[in-house]
């Protein structure tokens, strides 16, 4: 697999020769090779051993393209959206997503019903009737830095696994 560093590939104008691009091509070839049928017969007769082809059984797709090592809260984007679903910007984002169904939706927000227009309107109506603030925290001084909050939450998830 001849390849070069990412930076060198960019500078020389050959992004297809970067290590990541070459590795991606090789993994794709391996996945395709695993899908091919075994060729052990031709014209109703067995082929000689040296001409037979058996597809590899390495399960490359599961090994290279699965997210089993990523915490479920991160895959569902719960880590990102938890605690901020009452913000008006999130509700407007959900409203926009309802109007644009071609885009992939966050599973966590879907589980809360945020992409159902009736549920979203009910939330907005409830908040307007009861005068609930659209900010999750009363004062900005109490909020942790966003990156620190994410790091803390990720370390908690890693410890629980």
Domain boundaries, the chain: 6-65, 72-160
The full DSSP string for 104-129 is: ---HHHHHTTTTSHHHHHHHHHHHHH
Q: What is the percent of the chain where pLDDT is above 90?
A: 38
Question: 63: number of CA atoms within 13 Å, CB side?
Answer: 10
Q: CA–CA separation, 77 vs 75, rounded Å? A: 5
pLDDT, position 161: 60
pLDDT in tens, 140-151: 555 555 667 677
Judge whether residue 133 has pLDDT over 60. Answer: no
User: Which residues are paired to 41 by β-bridges?
Assistant: 46
Q: CA–CA separation, 116 vs 95, rounded Å? A: 9
Tokens at 24, concatenated: 């991606």
pLDDT, position 88: 84
Give the pLDDT band of residue 87 (cuts 50, 70, 90): confident
Could you tell me the pTM of the whole model?
A: 0.46
Judge whether residue 139 has pLDDT over 80. Answer: no
Q: CA–CA separation, 77 vs 110, rounded Å? A: 11
Query: How many angstroms separate the first and last alpha carbons of the chain?
Result: 36
């Amino acid at each position: 697999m001849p390849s070069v560093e990412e930076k060198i590939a960019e500078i020389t104008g050959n992004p297809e020769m970067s290590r990541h691009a070459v590795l991606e091509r090789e993994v794709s070839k391996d996945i395709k090779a695993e899908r091919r049928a075994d060729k052990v017969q031709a014209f109703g007769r067995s082929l000689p051993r040296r001409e037979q082809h058996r597809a590899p059984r390495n399960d490359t797709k599961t090994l290279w393209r699965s997210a089993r090592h990523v915490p479920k809260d991160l895959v569902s984007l719960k880590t990102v959206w938890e605690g901020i679903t009452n913000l008006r910007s999130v509700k407007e984002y959900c409203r926009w997503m309802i109007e644009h169904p071609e885009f992939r939706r966050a599973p966590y927000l879907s589980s809360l019903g945020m992409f159902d227009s009736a549920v979203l309107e009910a939330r907005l109506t409830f908040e307007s009737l009861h005068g609930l603030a659209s900010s999750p925290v009363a004062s900005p001084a109490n909020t942790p830095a966003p990156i620190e909050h994410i790091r803390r939450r990720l370390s908690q998830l890693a410890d629980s696994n």
